[in-house]
Amino acid sequence: MSGNTFGKLFCVTTFGESHGPALGCIVDGCPPGLEISAEEIQLELDRRKPGTSRYTTQRREADAVKILSGVFEGKTTGTPIGLLIENTDQRSKDYANIAEQIRPAHADYTYWAKYGLRDYRGGGRSSARETAMRVAAGAIAKKWLKQQFGIEVRGYLSQLGPIKIDKLDWSQVSENPFFCPDADKVPEMEAYMQALIKEGNSIGARISVHASGVPAGLGEPIFDRLDADLAHALMSINAVKGVEIGAGFASVEQKGTEHRDEITPEGFQSNNAGGVLGGISSGQELIAHIALKPTSSLRIPGKSLDTNGNPIEVVTKGRHDPCVGIRATPIAEAMMALVLIDHIMRQRAQNGDVEFGLTIPAGDSA
């Protein structure tokens, strides 16, 4: 399989460039009988839509999704679901000047090296615009997970540059443009972002994603472990440079007595594992964190070469998010949802209704 398909049983294949006529995807393998509408998918798309606050790109895209197949009389039929979003705000002319530039920290050089030619308009296929289709496909997965298993996948911004959150209040995440679960930090974030915009610079971010209600037993050792597939899924998001499960890199300095999540009849006493043991879900909350690099398109000039090898100064004038991490929350949720539905299907394939004697309570999820 080529590189634009995600999943083994619930397969999402996407196409589309930033400034081409349309983006689209095919969701193949969706179980039949799920009630789904374009409106429901649209709700998720609107969460990542550009132009919703001053802290994100000002490109204005309706991102209106159409269902072209696979749904009949309001329900999925088990046949492939074709989804389409037409690009309305293309403005190719904005990007004409970059045709011969190799922008530092962008994919300009690597796409060119790989393919020998590239669609330079707005980054072409390498643009984060592509992630709209992941969110659309993820919306279907999220609905199914919730309805069939009560699984809820939710994300939040856990760090914006130097600003770390102190508390996790899920109810706050939708109340500010940062997906920040700590209301007290929002003013600080606003001030930080305004200074950054003024400076013409950008900043990295850390996003966290949790899934609650995940049954024990998901994951296919030894290579398709749940955590390995999550790492694949999350690292495939534009700008992601790191992935952690549970305690993540903090594990390096932990002793065994500290890291191991002890178990009592009340359940797990901690969750350093992040809900995965031996590559298989434990029934605890599934927890992952990702690091996103700062946006590469800056108003501050940077040294680079043109496509003839001559030194140039690159200055970006287009519409860009000063922190790409902010809008990544729904994308990360979508990817975790896609991993989970795929693994539930793999588990159903192999094991049907396995019965065993004991279920350990999820216990503490912190």
Residues 297-336 that bind its own copies (CB under 8 A): 298, 300, 302-305, 307-309, 311, 325
**Among 220, 202, 216, residue whose Cα is nearest residue 281:** 216
The binding site comprises: 48, 54, 125-127, 238-239, 278, 293-297, 319
Choosing from 42, 208, 272, 329, the residue that interacts with its own copies (CB under 8 A) is: 272
Stretch that binds its own copies, among 53-61, 180-188, 279-287, 326-334 (CB under 8 A): 279-287
Helix (H, G, I), strand (E, B) or coil at 351: helix
- Tally the C-alpha atoms within 13 A of residue 45's C-alpha that lie toward its C-beta: 24
Residue 233 to residue 123: CA distance in whole angstroms: 21
Residues 36-65 that bind its own copies (CB under 8 A): none
Q: Is the dihedral of CA 207, 212, 214, 216 positive or negative?
A: positive
Residues 144-203 that bind its own copies (CB under 8 A): 159, 161-162, 196, 201-203
Sequence-ordered list of residues with C-beta below 8 angstroms from that of 203, at least 6 positions apart, any chain: 160, 161, 192, 196, 294, 322, 323, 325
Instruction: Tell whether residue 26 is a contact of its own copies (CB under 8 A).
Output: yes
Choosing from 145, 153, 193, 292, the residue that interacts with its own copies (CB under 8 A) is: 292
CA distances from 78 to 18, 34, 124, 336 (A): 30, 9, 32, 22
From the CB of 170, what's the least distance to its own copies, in Å?
22
From the CB of 187, what's the least distance to its own copies, in Å?
20
Q: x/- site string to its own copies, residues 73 to 112, per CB under 8 A?
A: --x-xxxxxx-x-----------------x-xxxx-xxxx
Q: x/- site string to its own copies, residues 105 to 144, per CB under 8 A?
A: xxx-xxxxxxxxxxx----xxx---x--------------
Number of chain residues interacting with its own copies (CB under 8 A): 160
Fill in the DSSP letter of residue 340: H
Sequence-ordered list of residues with C-beta below 8 angstroms from that of 6, at least 6 positions apart, any chain: 12, 13, 134, 233, 236, 338
